[in-house]
Structure 1
């Protein structure tokens, strides 16, 4: 039977000491590395290297980059890691044109401001000038337009901001392809009915409607219009029920209209 080799404690001690020394060295290296990293982090945070390097603004059309930067109160000299993103968002949201905003940190020391503005739903006419109006009723009086585009209706006679806000909110609810059929929207309030509106359509007809159920009624407008004689122009009443009142002569005002009303309630 082979004899087991016996290793004396004296032979094992040097190996144990070497193992302990290596472990101690590894720990020392780790601690020194952490220490130097902390020192470098402190130096970095206290130096201009940790300041904001760039600020970018995205997805804004109506509000300029300069105005958004002014609202954010960022100068570019702030510490990239110490700024509070939620506070910056709250400051930018003070602009009534801005619906939502998201601020984030990006590489390298870049602050990105993502803006979502309220949608433009039309133009407000003021004598011979026009101003964009947003879905929340905000009129952009600092963005004068000499000639409005054909992509959205013109609002005329809306001297009450309360009803203007209501109609823009309703207009936002209808599909773009339907709102594109509207040329002008006039506010024509009556005693006991401040919600009455008159629409001039691009096909030459008029529509009498109510602000209260505007989006609901206008969503069915294409199906109603499809049942009308395209050669016969007139006024489509959609405020209560639905009936078509043809002009005596094309282009006559509603007061001069003596055509026979045609009920079209069955197409609703």
Structure 2
């Protein structure tokens, strides 16, 4: 009899404490902090995580794997996330994914990572002296573009100012490349990286600004 009463009291007390915990402010999120990213990306990560002020801390803890996937799937700048919960704070630390350039759409810039994923984060300008990509319409194009950019050396990647898709009937993968040094390149997207290994040699032989054609072979003409 006394044993049963003790068990009942314990269960009742436990339920009371749990109920009290969920009623008190200590059980809810007071702030969400993000580190390892710039201010624009931080705000996007907070929104993508699905974590809101006054959510239950226990709910956040149990759902942090889901939140990590939401961030990874929507923010191409993020490679991985690590969550820590302290008092009423949710702290999200991210490691950065390699960004190969920025897609230009409606006067906004969206990061393209090395895996071909496009960020939902809108920027008013590209970051880190990386190239801008214009007129790429489909996900297959952007994935192929990312694959080619990821094969370039860092000096070649940051040496590119802009790449425009300029398809023609005989070459739907035709691109025009503007270099920061003033030279221009016409190339085929799927062979671009392999052809760019000859860029420095061709450039060294030129006496002025040139246009290089990598579509068939590799030759240059004076840029007028």
Fold conserved between structures, TM > 0.5: yes
Given that residues 120 and 132 in structure 1 are in contact (C-alpha distance below 8 angstroms), is that contact kept between their aligned partners in structure 2?
Answer: no
Q: Residues 195 and 50 of structure 1: is their aligned pair in 2 closer, same or farther, counting only changes over 3 Å?
A: same
Gaps of 5+ in 1: 1-38, 252-268
1:190-234: CA deviations, max 9, x gaps?
A: 3242122121223332222221122233244234433x12x2333
In the alignment, does 2:68 pair up with 1:89?
yes
Q: Residues 50 and 70 of structure 1: is their aligned pair in 2 closer, same or farther, counting only changes over 3 Å?
A: same
Matching residue of 1:152: 130
In the alignment, does 2:143 pair up with 1:143?
no
Q: Secondary structure at the match of 2:66?
A: helix
TM-superposed CA distance for 1:181, in Å, is 1.8
TM-superposed CA distance for 1:46, in Å, is 4.6
Matches within 5 A, 1:81-120: 83-84=61-62, 85-97=64-76, 99-116=78-95, 118-120=97-99
Given that residues 49 and 68 in structure 2 are in contact (C-alpha distance below 8 angstroms), is that contact kept between their aligned partners in structure 1?
Answer: no
TM-superposed CA distance for 1:237, in Å, is 2.5
Given that residues 77 and 111 in structure 2 are in contact (C-alpha distance below 8 angstroms), is that contact kept between their aligned partners in structure 1?
Answer: no
In the alignment, does 2:180 pair up with 1:175?
no
TM-superposed CA distance for 1:65, in Å, is 2.5
CA distance in 1, matches of 2:148, 2:156: 12
- Say which structure is richer in helix: 2
Question: Which of the residues 196, 199, 214 maps onto 1:238?
Answer: 214
Given that residues 136 and 164 in structure 2 are in contact (C-alpha distance below 8 angstroms), is that contact kept between their aligned partners in structure 1?
Answer: yes
Q: TM-score scaled by structure 1? A: 0.59
In the alignment, does 2:188 pair up with 1:210?
yes
Given that residues 118 and 134 in structure 1 are in contact (C-alpha distance below 8 angstroms), is that contact kept between their aligned partners in structure 2?
Answer: no
TM-superposed CA distance for 1:119, in Å, is 4.5
CA distance in 2, matches of 1:196, 1:88: 39
Work out the number of aligned pairs and report it: 206
Gaps of 5+ in 2: 1-12
1:157-183: CA deviations, max 9, x gaps?
A: 434453233213321332332122222
Given that residues 53 and 76 in structure 1 are in contact (C-alpha distance below 8 angstroms), is that contact kept between their aligned partners in structure 2?
Answer: yes
Q: Residues 207 and 137 of structure 1: is their aligned pair in 2 closer, same or farther, counting only changes over 3 Å?
A: farther
CA distance in 2, matches of 1:116, 1:157: 30
CA distance in 2, matches of 1:191, 1:199: 19
**Higher relative contact order, structure no. (Cα contacts within 8 Å, ≥ 6 residues apart):** 2
Q: Residues 103 and 237 of structure 1: is their aligned pair in 2 closer, same or farther, counting only changes over 3 Å?
A: same
| Structure label with greater radius of gyration | 1
What value does the CA root-mean-square deviation take over the aligned residues?
3.7
